[in-house]
């Protein structure tokens, strides 16, 4: 990169050390974002935003402090480092246990995500024309409301730490999606393409080109209209086939969050919640059936949770979280790993320079299975298939979940039958995963650009490779 900000980051780190910190790190981040939304063939909103600043983290004794400012001068960096140490010292009024940090492989490195077409360089008129055409096509096909959106993030960051890190990264992310809604008597049905909020990745505009938004717009409108008169999803216990997009969110909510080590240690108890997992069971607990193999893999090219180094300087490494149904790994940071007696970190990220790095999902995905979706349907005598998430809710221990999908189908005698409206299913995490008896090989790394966590709130970008799968004895058709 032609201009770097290691000097400012290093100045902040040194100032924190001078003020009494025994460890400090600093991130300078420059981020440009662009968002456009369209409705019924017209652009509705367009925003192009720029943010730049430095965030400093200081460890004084056994207490952390963090301070951030949008000023990249040397004086501001020094002041931020001092302030972070002062805040850490104040934390000592209510102290916790001693804090250690597992090693993060100190060093100098540079990394950039792959990008064929820089999304910010694509003319706005081209991007606008795409959303206008796609939403107009859905509207023309009978949608009462057609909406489209794209989002672009271009982030450069320079990380320095008192452990000797000097790491810069350039991560470009983008994605898009459309939704067609049909209004009935007292209810609204909607269909989204390619997923309920679009598909996203650490890729360039070529990702959006591949989505074929306009080509799928009319079908979304048709299906939304058809759902208004489709029979309700039946209520009861049945065999459930989930499409890959819905399964990605199932993984996110009932596995990804549950294996976050900060939750397991109680650090999120008052807000995001804890986890049903107990570290004493790591390596022995049966999470799911033998088909369940979950990996933590920030190295997947183009997936939304990919990076070269996390925001503590740990390099991206693929690890197992669940192997042959047994729980074997967690998402960890340097301090939480040390506290848990583990020897790896690598899953800490911050939503911008003004936010504290914390344990976040990277790409948490289900390895593909031996079947195809058609084989799964053909092997099902009586069941329901659902896809494309519409709602999600799960308890604070990540056990009791309920999901709603945009669309469902009857499955009878090995064939996909009638469309079903308002499909929902509910269950308890490990019981549900242990019932998975068929898994497709048709895996897609779905991106989730809106994972909320932390106080103050942070929005995380995560990826979830997932393929269609079958589950038995699932309660479906929960209604108000």
Partner 1 sequence: MSAELDLAARVIELIRRLAGAGAQAEVVAAHSAEALTRFANSAIHQNVADATTTVRLRLHLDGRTAGGSTTVTGPAGLQALVERTIAASRLSPPDQAWPGLTPPTALRAAPAFDEATAAAGPHERADRVRDFVRAADGLETAGFCRTSYHSAGFANTAGQAVEGRSADAAMDGIARLDGADGVARRAGSRLSELDGAALGTRAAAKARAGGRPVELPPGRYEVVLEPTAVADILDNLATFGFNGKAYAQHQSFAELGVPQFDPAVTIRDEPLGATLPFDQEGTPRDTLVLVDRGTTTAVSHDRTSAAEAGAASTGHAGAASRSWGPIASNLGLAPEPGGHAAPETGEGPTAASARTLVGGVRRGLLITDFWYTRVLDQKSLVITGLTRNGVWLVEDGEVTAAVGNMRFTQSYPQALGPGAVLGVGAEAIALPDRWSGVRYTAPALHLKSWNLTGNASG
For partner 1, the binding residues in 168-187 under the rule CB under 8 A are 181, 183, 186-187
- Distance in angstroms (rounded) separating the CA atoms of residues 112 and 105: 19
Does 396 bind partner 1 (CB under 8 A)? Our answer is yes
- Could you say whether residue 3 binds partner 1 (CB under 8 A)? no
Query: Which of 1, 18, 74, 96: binder of partner 1 (CB under 8 A)?
Result: 96
Q: Are 205 and 117 in contact (CB under 8 A)?
A: yes
118-137: contacts with partner 1 (CB under 8 A)? 123-125, 128-129, 132
Chosen residue from 219, 319, 323, 475 binding partner 1 by CB under 8 A:
475
- Write the secondary structure of 75-144 as one string of H (helix), E (strand) and C (coil): HHHHHHHHHHHHHHHHHCCCCCCCCCCCCCCCCEEEEECCCCCCCCCCCHHHHHHHHHHHHHHHHHCCCC
Q: Which stretch binds partner 1 (CB under 8 A): 199-207, 210-218, 323-331, 421-429?
A: 421-429
Q: 324 near 290, Cβ under 8 Å?
A: yes
* Interatomic CA distance for residues 65 and 191, integer angstroms: 45
Rounded to an integer, what is the distance from CA 355 to the centroid of its chain? Answer: 17
Shortest Cβ distance from residue 107 to partner 1 (Å)? 27
Residues 20-39 that bind partner 1 (CB under 8 A): 35, 37
Residue 229 engages partner 1 in binding (rule: CB under 8 A): no
Name the one range near partner 1 by CB under 8 A: 15-23, 60-68, 302-310, 441-449: 60-68
**Rounded Cα distance, 81 and 209, in Å:** 44
Which one-letter DSSP state was computed for residue 281?
G
Among 207, 277, 291, 394, binds partner 1 (CB under 8 A): 394
> Counting contacts by CB under 8 A, is residue 212 touching partner 1?
no
The region of 95-103, 192-200, 293-301, 374-382 touching partner 1 under the rule CB under 8 A is 95-103
CA distances from 363 to 114, 173, 305 (A): 16, 14, 5
What is residue 437's three-state secondary structure?
Answer: strand
431 is a contact residue toward partner 1 (CB under 8 A) = yes
Q: Which stretch binds partner 1 (CB under 8 A): 11-19, 108-116, 240-248, 449-457?
A: 449-457
Stretch that binds partner 1, among 152-160, 394-402, 438-446, 461-469 (CB under 8 A): 394-402
What does the block give as tokens for 470? 């079958």
Q: Is residue 67 near partner 1 by the rule CB under 8 A? A: yes
Which x/- pattern, by CB under 8 A, does the window 453-472 give for partner 1?
--xxx---------------
- By the rule CB under 8 A, 424 interacts with partner 1: yes
- Does residue number 408 form part of the binding site for partner 1 (CB under 8 A)? no
One DSSP character per residue, 293-324 reads -EEE-TTSTT-TT--SB-TTSPBP--EEEEET
Establish if 70 lies at the interface with partner 1 (CB under 8 A). yes
Per CB under 8 A, the list member of 1, 18, 95, 450 interacting with partner 1 is 95
Residue 216: helix, strand or coil by DSSP?
helix
Q: How many residues make contact with partner 1 (CB under 8 A)?
A: 84
* Residue 37 CB partners (closer than 8 Å, separation 6+): 43, 44, 45, 46, 131, 147, 148, 149
Short-list 218, 38, 229, 231, CA closest to 143: 218
The reply to whether 441 sits near partner 1 by the rule CB under 8 A is: no
Q: Considering the complex, state which of residue 295 and residue 347 has its C-beta at the smaller distance from partner 1.
A: 347
Stretch that binds partner 1, among 199-207, 293-301, 340-348, 399-407 (CB under 8 A): 399-407
Put the strands of the sheet holding 364-366 in their side by side order.
326-327, 319-323, 294-296, 364-366
Cβ atoms of 66 and 87 within 8 Å: the answer is yes
Distance CA 106, CA 162 (A): 9
Per-residue mark of binding to partner 1, 347-376 (x: CB under 8 A): -------xxx-x------------------
Q: Which is nearer to partner 1, 43 or 285 (CB)?
A: 43
* Residues within window 246-305 making contact with partner 1, judged by CB under 8 A: 265-271, 273
Indicate whether 390 belongs to the interface with partner 1 (CB under 8 A): yes
The pattern of x and - marking residues 316 through 345 that bind partner 1 according to CB under 8 A reads ------------------------------
Q: Is 392 exposed, middle or buried (0-12, 13-18, 19+ CB in 10 A)?
A: middle
């Amino acid at each position: 990169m032609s201009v770097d900000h290691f000097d400012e980051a290093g100045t902040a780190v040194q100032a924190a050390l001078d003020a009494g910190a025994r460890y400090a790190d600093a991130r300078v981040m420059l981020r440009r974002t662009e968002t456009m939304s369209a409705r019924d063939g017209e652009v509705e909103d367009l925003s192009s935003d720029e943010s730049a600043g430095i965030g400093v983290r200081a460890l004084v004794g056994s207490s952390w402090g963090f301070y951030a400012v949008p000023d990249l001068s040397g004086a501001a960096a020094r002041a931020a480092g001092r302030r972070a140490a002062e805040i850490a010292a104040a934390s000592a009024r209510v102290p916790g246990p001693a804090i250690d940090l597992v090693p993060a492989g100190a060093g100098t490195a540079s990394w950039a995500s792959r990008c064929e077409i820089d999304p910010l360089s694509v003319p706005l008129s081209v991007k606008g024309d795409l959303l206008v055409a796609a939403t107009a096509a859905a509207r023309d096909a009978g949608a009462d409301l057609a909406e489209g959106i794209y989002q672009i993030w271009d982030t450069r960051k320079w990380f320095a730490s008192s452990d000797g890190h000097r790491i810069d990264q350039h991560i470009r992310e983008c994605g898009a999606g459309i939704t067609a809604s049909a209004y009935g008597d007292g209810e609204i049905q909607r269909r989204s393409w390619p997923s309920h909020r679009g598909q996203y990745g650490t890729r360039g505009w070529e990702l959006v080109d591949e989505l074929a938004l306009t080509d799928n717009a009319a079908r979304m409108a048709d299906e939304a209209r058809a759902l208004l008169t489709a029979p309700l999803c039946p209520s009861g216990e049945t065999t459930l086939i989930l499409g890959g997009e819905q399964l990605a969110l199932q993984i996110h909510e009932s596995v990804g969050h549950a294996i976050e080590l900060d939750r397991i240690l109680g650090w999120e108890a008052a807000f995001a919640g804890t986890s049903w997992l107990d570290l004493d069971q790591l390596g022995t607990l049966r999470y799911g059936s033998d088909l369940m193999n979950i990996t933590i893999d920030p190295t997947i090219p183009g997936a939304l949770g990919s990076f070269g180094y996390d925001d503590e300087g740990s390099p991206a490494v693929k690890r197992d979280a669940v192997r042959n149904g047994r729980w074997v790994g967690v998402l960890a940071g340097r301090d939480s790993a040390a506290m848990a007696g583990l020897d790896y970190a690598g899953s800490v990220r911050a939503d911008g320079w003004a936010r504290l790095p914390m344990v976040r999902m990277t790409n948490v995905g289900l390895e593909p299975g031996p079947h195809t979706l058609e084989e799964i349907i053909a092997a099902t005598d009586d069941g329901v298939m659902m896809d494309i998430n519409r709602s999600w809710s799960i308890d604070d221990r990540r056990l009791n979940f309920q999901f709603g999908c945009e669309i469902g189908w009857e499955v009878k005698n090995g064939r996909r039958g009638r469309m079903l409206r308002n499909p929902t299913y509910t269950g308890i995490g490990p019981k549900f995963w242990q019932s998975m008896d068929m898994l497709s090989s048709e895996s897609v790394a779905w991106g989730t650009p809106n994972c909320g966590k932390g106080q103050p709130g942070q929005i995380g970008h995560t990826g979830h490779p997932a393929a269609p799968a079958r589950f038995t004895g699932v309660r479906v058709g929960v209604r108000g």
